[in-house]
Structures are given as C-alpha cells and as structure tokens.
Amino acid sequence: MSLEPDVRSSPRAFRVQGLVNGRDLGGLRRRDGTTTPAKVFYRSENVDWITGEGWEQLRAEGIRTIVDLRQPGERAQDRGHRPEWLTTRLFDLDGLDNQAFWANYWDNGLVGTALYYLAHLEAMPERTAAALSAIVSAPVGGVLFHCMGGRDRTGMIAMILLAAIDTEPEQIVDDYLETVRLGDLRAASAKRNNAEPDIDALCQRHGTTTESAFRTALQGFDLTRFLDSVGLSGADQQLLSTWRGAVS
C-alpha cells in the first residue's frame, strides 16, 4: 500500500511503501529546549508488509538495522524478502511463557493498551532490557524497531527511548497518540476495522482512557530504577542516554 506523505499528520513520518505507521523519533522537544536527534531511531508496524520499492526507500532513509519485537509465532507468518544490506535482530518482548503474568492481561484485551506497561516492566524487565540493548548497540546506521501494529510493544520501547534523553512528556504522549490517530489508515492497510474506539471503550471500563492509560505509564516509569533492576551494561547505558552519541 503506497501513501503520499501528506496523508499522515506527523511531519516525522517517512515514505516507505507498505508502511503507514512509520516515523522518525527525531524532532521532538526535549526539556532543555533542543529536539531529539533525527535519523537515529525509528518506529513502525510490521516490516514484512514493506514492498521491494519500500525497502529501497528505507535504505535511502539511512536505516540499516531492524529490531523485531514480535513473538516467534507472529514472525512465522512472514512472507516477505529482507534485503542483504539489512541487519535484523529478533527479541520476543511479550514473553507469553510467563502465563501467570499474562493471565491478567491477555484474554481480557488489556494487552492492547498501555495498562500493562508498568506491570510488564516490573515482571519481565530483562526482555525490555534486551531489546533496548539491541537497539542502542546496533551497527552504524538508523535503527527501526517494530511489532505488528506498531502500537503498544513499539510504544513502550519508544516511551523509554524518549524518556532516556529527557523528551518533554507531552511530546512523548503525542508520539504515542499519533499511532492512535492513524487508526483508520492502519486498519485499512491491514484490511481490518479500526479497533481504536473499542480499545478506548475497554480503557473506560477500567476507569481510564487510551490517552490517560499511557500518561499513567509514562508518569510511573522510573528510568533509574529500571536500569538498576536489569543491570544494563555501562556501555549500553551510555548509548541509551546519548542516543548512540547523537546528544551530549
């Protein structure tokens, strides 16, 4: 599916045939008045939907590494061809083998909301730490991370990356909500109905909203405590806090 850039609301969106929810994490305001560096980290939905021309567009953007956050069963459904110049790193962020955790979030649909973020980070911090390590220590070039829809697994990692360099909270929230605003486009691309109204209704049944649930996760996330709990190497912490040397 090919979309013209002006179809999407974010100026950080990039044109890649097959993607409708891809964007650069650069260009967001930080607390010190600067902006997050461009062409370092990118987020998107499933890259298996990228066309042959789309891969060339991705290459022209400067992206050289993909960090795939999906479950093995999701990856097994892939049918596309990855170009040889691309490095792919695989990390199952969910960890469905932790049945005790997912009993509270899977069948009731909360896995599709930010209501599970803090609990997941508490229960399985090592999974997020492994994904972050892969992202920040990737080979030279831009790094794109993704899940299936580019919404919640991707949203949680984006939240942490942006928080790590003191991005203004409202900007982090807006980046998450950009995916929500793209609900109709994402649904059309996947040949599904837009699930965002149902997700928000689910959140409201739990006393919150899509936006408020994410705000709560962002406000409750303690980066220092998280890093202390996972023992991320000093080198990786430096890469995380400087976005691979792009900020001082």
Tokens (6 digits) for 10: 């974010």
**Residue range 37-69, pLDDT digits in tens:** 999 999 999 999 999 999 999 999 999 999 999
What's the CATH architecture for 5-242? Alpha-Beta Complex (3.90)
What is the number of other CB atoms lying within 10 angstroms of the CB of residue 46? 23
Q: Estimate to the nearest angstrom the gap between the alpha carbon of 132 and the chain centroid.
A: 11
User: Which SS3 state, helix, strand or coil, does residue 10 take?
Assistant: coil
E strands present in 28-187: 41-44, 63-68, 87-90, 142-146
Pairing of strands 63-68, 142-146: parallel
C-alpha closest to that of 199 among 109, 94, 102: 109
Helix 234-242 to helix 125-136 angle, to the nearest 10 degrees? 70
Q: Band of the pLDDT at 1, cuts 50, 70, 90? A: very low
CA angle 192, 194, 196 (to 5 degrees): 145
Q: Closest by alpha carbon to 211, among 160, 176, 169?
A: 176
- What distance in Å separates the CA atoms of residue 80 and residue 30, rounded to the nearest whole number? 37
Report helix, strand or coil for 97.
coil
Strand partners, 65: 87, 143
Distance CA 229, CA 232 (A): 8
**Mean pLDDT of all residues belonging to the chain:** 95
Provide the pLDDT for residue 26. Answer: 98
pLDDT for the residue numbered 10: 75
Q: Six-digit token pair at 135?
A: 């992202």
Per-residue pLDDT at 4 exceeds 50: no
What pLDDT does residue 248 have?
A: 86
Tell me: the pLDDT tens digits for 118-148?
999 999 999 999 999 999 999 999 999 999 9
Residue spans per domain, the chain: 5-242
The helix (run of H) or strand (run of E) holding residue 23 is: strand 23-24
